Amino acid sequence: MAPKKRHLAPLLLIAPALIVLTVFLVIPYLNIILMSFRTPGNGVPYGAGWTIANYGKFLSDPFYLFQIANTLWIGVVTTLVCLVAGFPVAWQLARGSNRWRGLYYGIVLAPLLIGIVIRSYGWTILLGNNGVINRALIGAGLVDGPLPLMYNGLGIIIALTHVLLPFMILPISSALQGVDPSLEAAARSLGASRAITFRRIVLPLALPGIQAGSMLVFVLAISAYVTPALIGGLRVKTMAVTVVDALIDTFQWPFGSALALALSVIGALSVIAFARLTRTKWKAP
């Protein structure tokens, strides 16, 4: 075999994937970046010439700035709720007895295996004004009218937490699996309380998992579309919903592209900031 051929043949393995990625990912993304600098069209998707007005419009309109803040807020709260709800489960998965572990993993993965529309639909049955929870509360005489659990930020956070919990639990669990349980035993035997063992031993060692999980959850939360669209109703809109509205309903391609890119850049910047902040070594107070 000629050396040249041996060098080139493996490239045939990666070539199809690279072609697909270039044609359907790289070029479309370059196109959308160009699109965001085009002028708005009248009856057509975009007009002639170039402008930066799309970004100006977005940055100067309090409506959009408020929405960005709202979206980030929902992302932060969802991440925190996922962390608090997910950490004990991750711990149990990593340290629990083997007998039921397969089942528990199955339950943790379940939300990922069920389509997003169905999940959101399940939440409407549970959280709606006429839903299971409100009926139960009214039936028990605890409240007079239905509690507003849906069509608001609360509903979005509940549903997003459900969808994104696996992304928090699995990285933390695998980080905890890498921690030798004898470290905790050693700390305990040296007289450390449970709380101190947790703060000084477990938490620092689980930190990479927490960081990875939090970043995944945050990014997925702020770019989620279906859950806010179905659960948030018409009143509470996140950026992703507004972007799709601008593109599909009102046909503002250049402005919608600018909004979409702004959302992605803000997401990327938050992740970088978060990684910076948590990279400093964990110091127990």
Partner 1 sequence: MGQRLFASYCILIYAFLLAPIVVVVAASFNAGAFLTFPPQGLSLRWYVTFFENEVFMRAIRTSLFVALITTVISGTIGTAGALYAVQFAGRLKEAVRLAMLAPLLLPEVLTAIALLFFVYAIGIGTRTMVGMIAGHVLITLPFVFINVSAALESFDPSWDLAARSLGADRLTRFRRIMLPLIKSGVIGGCLFAFIISFDTFTISFMLKGIGTSTLPIQLFDYLRTNFTPEAAAVSSLSIALTVAVVLVTEKLLGLKIHRF
Question: Which residues, 55 to 74, sit near partner 1 by CB under 8 A?
Answer: none
**Reduced to 3 DSSP states, what percent helix, strand and coil does the chain have, rounded to the nearest 5?**
75, 5, 20
Helices H, strands E: what count in the chain? 15, 2
3-state secondary structure of 280: coil
Question: What's the min distance (Å) between Cβ of 109 and partner 1?
Answer: 8
Element (H, E) at 11: helix 11-21
| Alpha-carbon gap, residue 182 to 285, rounded angstroms | 23
- What pairs with residue 38 in β-bridges? 50
Contacts of 120 (CB under 8 A, 6+ apart): 159, 226, 227, 230, 231
43 makes contact with partner 1 (CB under 8 A): no
For partner 1, the binding residue among 37, 146, 244, 274 (CB under 8 A) is 244
Question: Which residues, 130 to 169, sit near partner 1 by CB under 8 A?
Answer: 130-132, 135, 162, 165
CA distances from 8 to 16, 17, 116, 147 (A): 14, 16, 42, 65
75 makes contact with partner 1 (CB under 8 A): no
228 makes contact with partner 1 (CB under 8 A): no
Q: What's the first-to-final CA gap in the chain, in angstroms?
A: 64
Burial classification of residue 176, based on how many CB atoms lie within 10 Å of its CB (0-12 exposed, 13-18 middle, 19 or more buried): buried
Question: What's the min distance (Å) between Cβ of 283 and partner 1?
Answer: 27
Nearer residue to partner 1 within complex by CB, 201 or 258? 258
For partner 1, the binding residue among 39, 51, 152, 174 (CB under 8 A) is 174
273 makes contact with partner 1 (CB under 8 A): no
C-alpha dihedral sign at 109, 115, 120, 123: negative
116 makes contact with partner 1 (CB under 8 A): yes
For partner 1, the binding residue among 114, 186, 273, 275 (CB under 8 A) is 114
Nearer residue to partner 1 within complex by CB, 62 or 135? 135
Question: What's the min distance (Å) between Cβ of 132 and partner 1?
Answer: 5
Candidates 11-19, 52-60, 181-189, 200-208; binding stretch for partner 1 (CB under 8 A): 11-19
For partner 1, the binding residue among 151, 218, 253, 255 (CB under 8 A) is 253
- E-assigned strands of the chain? 38-40, 46-50
User: How many residues line the site for partner 1 (CB under 8 A)?
Assistant: 73
For partner 1, the binding residue among 3, 43, 115, 285 (CB under 8 A) is 115
Candidates 26-34, 71-79, 185-193, 200-208; binding stretch for partner 1 (CB under 8 A): 26-34
For partner 1, the binding residue among 200, 226, 251, 270 (CB under 8 A) is 226
